[in-house]
Amino acid sequence: MGIINHNEATFTGSAADKARQIISDCGGIIRTTEAIKAGIHPRIIYQLRDSGELEQLSRGIYRLTVLDEISNPDLVIVATRIPSAVICLISALAYHEITTQIPHKISIALPRNFDTPRLDYPPVVAHRFSGESFREGIEVHQIDSVSVRIYSTEKTIADCFKFRNKIGMDVVLEALKLYKTRMRFDVKKLLYYAKICRVDKVMFPYLEASL
């Protein structure tokens, strides 16, 4: 019995060291499915969690506790759990710092044929985009070593005009005003995305007034 326990302890210690290295190589954050594919047994994940070396960010997502505090945990979790999603609308406005709104849910864009994801945390609201309106304007930002897909400022403003009845025209106009104040006012890009979103006729008078 003692020999078996000793061997298990040796195996577990070696496996834990391997797991720490794998997770570290992944930027310190890993999904359970990715960990298993990399050769980490679920028992080792739970062992590291129970010992305080891993923290559970959301269901199936773990992070090394030795890392600095996450700057934007909600976006990191969404990008890790739903890699096909693109941060959009008010959540994108908040990331680009062109709104005073505080999003209570993470707004994500998904292709029309994509199943609605289920997350226990953070709360998300999914919007269906199709064709160019989904593909165009995606930027990839590194947040705490995680690649997060977010629409550019110009694409986000065009999207907000398209969803103006849902988010409120006051939010849209504030975003346009802050965009002009804080960034280079790129009319060409704004009109490019406005045409893709089919809101160029709606946007043009506001852009003209802002020149």
The CATH number of residue 173's host domain is: 3.30.460
Q: Are residues 35 and 89 both part of a single domain? A: no
How many domains are there within the chain?
2
d(CA 27, CA 37): 16
Q: Cα Rg for the chain, rounded, in angstroms? A: 22
Q: Is the pLDDT of residue 174 over 60?
A: yes
* pTM of the entire predicted model: 0.76
For the stretch 63-120, pLDDT in tens is 888 877 777 889 998 998 898 999 999 999 999 999 999 888 999 999 988 887 777 7
Q: What digits encode the pLDDT tens for the residues 109-150? A: 999 888 877 777 889 999 999 899 999 999 999 988 789 999
Task: Indicate if the pLDDT at residue 2 is higher than 50.
Answer: no
Q: How far apart are CA 186 and CA 19, in angstroms?
A: 47
Pick from 83, 117, 89: nearest CA to 103: 89
CATH number at residue 43: 1.10.10
Sheet holding 61-64: strands in order across?
29-31, 61-64, 54-58
